[in-house]
Amino acid sequence: MTRTGGQPDGAAATEAESQPDGIGQSEGSRPDHVVDVKDLVKRYKEVVALDHFDLSIDKGEIFGLLGPNGSGKTTAINCILQLLTYSRGEIKLWGEPMSPTRYDLKRRIGLVPQQVAVLPELSVTENIDYFCSLYVDDKARRRRLVGEAIEFTGLERFAKFRPKKLSGGLVRRLNIACGIAHQPSLILFDEPTVAVDPQSRNAILEGIRRLGAEGATVVYTSHYMEEVEQLCTRIMIMDAGRAVAVGTNAELKSMVGIGERIRVELDFPDDAVLAAVRALPHTQHASLSGQTLKVACAPGARNLADVVEALDRADVSYGRVFSEPPTLNDVFLELTGAELRD
């Protein structure tokens, strides 16, 4: 079963309240749902790539599909785009049933495929112009759009280059530019930032945020948790073709009942300290490894303060204290029993 974030707790409260309809709970397709996928089953011979998969995405969301390799992210996107047939299920876009010949719906979508798909014979500018021309007839408008896409991906210096002369990361940026130039209202990014350097990656993430702010709906797949965490307004964690959990970043973390991870470098580690920390109400798990005390907390607003207080009360001397918010990896670990990181 898919776990959905619905019981706001602690830090999650504010975000959850801003979406009063709750998340992923609605039955039936709603008009403001841009994407509605119901009970999708996709098999490749023996492999079940999507196993009764549901997905609904609202207008303006930056929706993250997070999952390890082979979890079915690309398959889900390709099914939505009707690139694949599926044995079962229903896909609606903007409330309309999607089919291979719904060209009107397809024209409102932009795709940044996982595999780079550009024409090697055309320059950067020509490539973007070519893809844009599939959607936009007006030459002048296209020129403007191409310029914007080049700027978006920071390819100004390489405008005249053919893809062969571009580095791997630059080609991926071109791949992005080709997918977004026509200003689609729904954009599907399938791991767009693979091989892109951190600086450009940040620029791209910033750009995607801007696209969202301008009203585009974004689906973003990745197995980079940090990226998804930073960028996405809502996240689905996928595993083995199923949606394991859906919710905002905070909701997902609260859902599995984990709070921050606290590490303390003790000067003189002893078991009394451990006992004192374990006695705290929010401590789920505490351990000593060498000089370092590790405390895993349940969600709570005062976890760090409580731990520090307890240490002071026990009169322990300590050096540095680290507090790390829970990561999606912790969530994934909690939900599936496996690490998301490989």
Partner 1 sequence: MTAFSFALRVMLRDKGATLWGIGLPFALATLFYVAFGGLDASFRPSPVPVAVVDDAVYRASPALSELITATSEGQDPYLEPTYVTDRAGAERLVNAGGLYGYIAVDADGAVEYHRDWREYIGTPGHEIVTAILDSYVQGSAFAAEAAAAQASAAQAGLGQSPGASGASAGSGGEAAAGDEQDGGQGAGSGWSPSGTGDDPRLAAGPAAQAAALRAALEDTPAFTKAVQLTANPPSDQVRYFYAVLGFSALMVCGFAVSGLARLRANRSALGARLSTAGHSQVALLAPTAAAAYTLSFATLAADYLYIRFILGIGFGGKDIQILAILAVAALTVTALGAAICALPLPEAALSGIIAAISTVLSLFAGLYGPGSQDLADKVAQAAPWSTWLNPAREVYDALFSLYNYDTFGEAAQIMLRLAVLAVALLAVAAVGPRRTRHEHL
Ligand X SMILES: Nc1ncnc2c1ncn2[C@@H]1O[C@H](COP(=O)(O)OP(=O)(O)OP(=O)(O)O)[C@@H](O)[C@H]1O
Applying CB under 8 A, which of residues 107, 263, 278, 302 lies at the interface with partner 1?
A: 107
Reduced to 3 states (helix: H, G, I; strand: E, B; else coil), residue 198 is: helix
Residue 164 is given by DSSP the state G
Does 200 participate in binding ligand X (rule CB under 6 A)? no
Of 187, 236, 241, 243, the residue nearest 210 (C-alpha): 187
Applying CB under 6 A, which of residues 6, 10, 22, 70 lies at the interface with ligand X?
A: 70
The Cα–Cα gap between 24 and 239 comes to 17
Does 114 participate in binding Mg ion (rule CB under 5 A)? yes
Does 175 participate in binding Mg ion (rule CB under 5 A)? no
B/e letters for 232-255, b = 16+ CB within 10 Å, e = fewer, are bbbbbbbbbbbbbbbbbbbbbbbb
Does 301 participate in binding partner 1 (rule CB under 8 A)? no
- 119 binding partner (options Mg ion, ligand X, partner 1, none; Cβ < 5 to 8 Å by kind): partner 1
Does 72 participate in binding ligand X (rule CB under 6 A)? yes
Of 56-64, 98-106, 114-122, 322-330, the window that binds Mg ion (rule: CB under 5 A) is 114-122
The Cα–Cα gap between 29 and 34 comes to 9
- 301 binding partner (options partner 1, ligand X, Mg ion, none; Cβ < 5 to 8 Å by kind): none
- In the numeric block, which tokens belong to residue 206? 């910033």
SS (H, E, C) 314-325: CCCCEEEEEEEC
- In the numeric block, which tokens belong to residue 329? 């990896």
Applying CB under 8 A, which of residues 122, 159, 288, 333 lies at the interface with partner 1?
A: 122
Contact string 125-164 vs partner 1 (x = CB under 8 A): -x---xx-xxx-x-x-------------------------
Instruction: Give the CA distances from residue 61 to residues 112, 185, 231, 295, 333, in Å, rounded to whole numbers and listed in that order.
Output: 17, 11, 10, 35, 26
Does 104 participate in binding partner 1 (rule CB under 8 A)? yes
| Least gap, CB of 135 to partner 1 (angstroms) | 7
Is the CB of residue 171 less than 8 Å from the CB of residue 164?
no
Residue 166 or 286: which CB sits closer to partner 1? 166
User: What's the CA angle centered on 109, arms 143 and 246, to 5 degrees?
Assistant: 135
Instruction: Find where tokens 């939505």 sit.
Output: 80
Does 322 participate in binding ligand X (rule CB under 6 A)? no
Residue 26 or 114: which CB sits closer to partner 1? 114
Residue 79 or 211: which CB sits closer to partner 1? 79
Is residue 229 exposed (0-12), middle (13-18) or buried (19+ Cβ within 10 Å)? middle
Ramachandran sector of residue 132 (left: φ over 0; alpha: ψ -120 to 50; beta: rest):
alpha
Does 114 participate in binding ligand X (rule CB under 6 A)? yes
Residues that bind partner 1 (CB under 8 A): 78, 81-85, 101, 103-107, 109, 111, 113, 115-119, 121-122, 126, 130-131, 133-135, 137, 139, 178-179
What does the binding site for ligand X look like in residue numbers (CB under 6 A)?
44, 47, 49, 67, 69-75, 114, 223
